Amino acid sequence: MDLFFFKCALSLYLLGSLGYILFIILQRKPLARISYGVLWVGFLSHSLSIGLWSMQHGYFPVHSLREALSFFAWAIIGVYLLIQWRFNILVLGSFLSPLASVMMISSSFLPYQNEAVNPLIRNLWLMIHIGTIFVGNGIFAVAFLAGIMYLIQERQIKSKQFGPFYHRLPSLEVLDSLNYNCLILGFPFLTLGMLSGAVFAQYTLGTFWRWDPKEVWSLITWLIYAVLLHGRLTTGWRGRRSAMISIIGFLVLIFSFLGGNILLKGYHSFSAFKDSGPEVRHTEPGKGIHN
């Protein structure tokens, strides 16, 4: 059943993206309003899919790249829907919904896994860890897109060459304040996510911090955003510099998201979630007899 709602969500996101892309080309507001509604329905369907899965398994679906990508897309769309409601920047959807759609498509091509996982994964601290980290990621994705939009718009105003984006993108002030608000909002989520992760590590592994590659990269990400936030609050960093750092921060974040789970070895990698992971097999008594 969760798969059915996942497919619904995917189709609706694609439809919404198409509408938003047509909106930025044709500049017909109703297109964006309809797409916004379509994204809402897609988001509800997606939430249902994730909810059903989580109820069935007792934890959030992040044990494979397929699930993690879908969860990431869910967080991005959710954050966007709230930001749209609060800030009303329709054109943001034209950038954001394709990003979420690409994630969903990638996710749908990966194999659907329904195998047993390490029981350690069913833990409240871990739920908080995953939940807050992904919401933070979604918010930073918006900051990233706001940064890109800012750089495009700033380039046009500085160079005095107005391309087709000039009239379609919002003003620099709006984009900069969107960047700022995302930073203010996203940073606590990221921080909370890392703290709850540390608590979970202490609870299960007996240590708060193990220099796992993903931990290191996450710390780097956190430091980048911390420096940016500090710069904004104290010395008035804004505009171009802030946009650039948000973009770099998000790229590092994506690297630690993908790299930490696939490329780099460590207990964050997807293979470690499996019940029959290599580490577990060695410690399990009796297996050797059967072999």
Partner 1 sequence: MEIVLIGVNHKSAPVELRERLSGFLTLNGPAHASLKGQFGLKEALFLNTCNRVEILFTSDLPDQTIEDMKAFWSNGIVQAPGVPLPGFYIYRNEEAVCHLFRVAASLDSMVIGEPQILGQIKEAYRQAVDHRTTGVILNRLLHKAFSVAKRIRTETGIASHAVSVSFAAVELGKKIFQDLAGKKVLLIGAGEMAELAAEHLLNNKVQQIMVANRTLERALEMAKRWHGRALSLEEISTALMEADIVISSTGAPETILFYPEVKAIMKQRRQRPLFFIDIAVPRDIDPKINEIDNVYLYDIDDLQGIVAQNIAERKQEALQAERIIQEEWIKFRSWLEGIEVVPTILALRKKMEDIQQGEWKKAGAALQGLSPEQLKAVEIMAQSIINKVLHDPITYLKEQLAEDKKNEKIDQIQKIFNLIEGMEVD
Interface residue with partner 1, options 4, 85, 112, 166 (CB under 8 A): 166
Query: Minimum distance between the CB of residue 161 and partner 1, rounded to whole angstroms?
Result: 10
Query: Minimum distance between the CB of residue 33 and partner 1, rounded to whole angstroms?
Result: 17
**Taking CB under 8 A as the rule, does residue 157 contact partner 1?**
yes
Of the two residues 237 and 255, which places its CB atom closer to partner 1 in the complex? 237
The residue assigned the tokens 């769309």 is: 77
| Number of CB atoms found within 10 A of residue 187's CB | 19
Of the two residues 160 and 282, which places its CB atom closer to partner 1 in the complex? 160
**Taking CB under 8 A as the rule, does residue 240 contact partner 1?**
yes
| Number of CB atoms found within 10 A of residue 37's CB | 13
Contact in structure between 161 and 171 (CB atoms under 8 Å): no
Stretch of 74-82, 98-106, 161-169, 190-198 contacting partner 1, by CB under 8 A: 161-169
Of the two residues 83 and 104, which places its CB atom closer to partner 1 in the complex? 83
Classify each residue of 153-184 as buried b or exposed e, where b means 16 or more C-beta atoms within 10 Å of its C-beta: bbebeeeeeeeeeeebbbebebbbebbbbbbe
Per-residue binding letters, 169-188, with partner 1 (x by CB under 8 A): -xxxxx--------------
Interface residue with partner 1, options 26, 86, 109, 160 (CB under 8 A): 160
Q: Which of 283, 107, 130, 90 is nearest to 214 (CA)?
A: 130
Query: Minimum distance between the CB of residue 152 and partner 1, rounded to whole angstroms?
Result: 12
Query: Minimum distance between the CB of residue 175 and partner 1, rounded to whole angstroms?
Result: 9
Interface residue with partner 1, options 56, 124, 162, 230 (CB under 8 A): 162
Contact in structure between 178 and 91 (CB atoms under 8 Å): no
Query: Minimum distance between the CB of residue 250 and partner 1, rounded to whole angstroms?
Result: 21
Query: Minimum distance between the CB of residue 169 and partner 1, rounded to whole angstroms?
Result: 8
**Taking CB under 8 A as the rule, does residue 238 contact partner 1?**
yes
| Number of CB atoms found within 10 A of residue 99's CB | 19
Interface residue with partner 1, options 7, 22, 239, 248 (CB under 8 A): 239
**Taking CB under 8 A as the rule, does residue 158 contact partner 1?**
yes
Rounded to whole angstroms, the Cα distance separating 145 from 102 reads: 15
Positions in the binding site for partner 1 (CB under 8 A): 153, 157-158, 160, 162, 166-167, 170-174, 235-241
